[in-house]
Amino acid sequence: MNGDMEQLAIEIRNCRKCELWKVRNNPVVGEGSIDARIMFIGEAPGRKEDEQGKPFVGAAGKILDGALHANSIERKEVYITNVVKCRPPGNRDPSMEEIKACVPYLERQIEIIKPEVIATLGRFSSRYILSRYGFSYLPISSIHGRVFEDRLNDVKIVPLYHPAACIYNPALKSIFMADMRKVAMLLRQ
The partner in contact with residue 101, picked from ligand SF4, ligand URA, none with C-beta cut-offs of 5 to 8 angstroms by kind, is ligand SF4
Residues in the chain: 189
Q: Find out whether 138 and 57 touch, Cβ atoms under 8 Å.
A: no
The partner in contact with residue 27, picked from ligand URA, ligand SF4, none with C-beta cut-offs of 5 to 8 angstroms by kind, is ligand SF4
Q: Find out whether 129 and 41 touch, Cβ atoms under 8 Å.
A: yes
Between 44 and 117, name the residue whose CB sits nearer to ligand URA. Answer: 44
- Side chain identity at residue 181, one-letter code: R
CA gap 86, 172 in Å, rounded: 27
Binding mask of the shown chain, residues 43 to 82, with x at each position contacting ligand URA by CB under 6 A: xxxx--x-----xx-x-x---------------------x
Using CB under 6 A, list all residues that contact ligand SF4. 12, 15-18, 20-21, 27, 84-86, 98, 101-102
Binding mask of the shown chain, residues 11 to 50, with x at each position contacting ligand URA by CB under 6 A: -----------------x-------------xxxxx--x-
Q: Find out whether 127 and 137 touch, Cβ atoms under 8 Å.
A: yes
Between 115 and 122, name the residue whose CB sits nearer to ligand URA. Answer: 122
CA distances to 96, 148, 174 from 116, in Å: 27, 12, 25
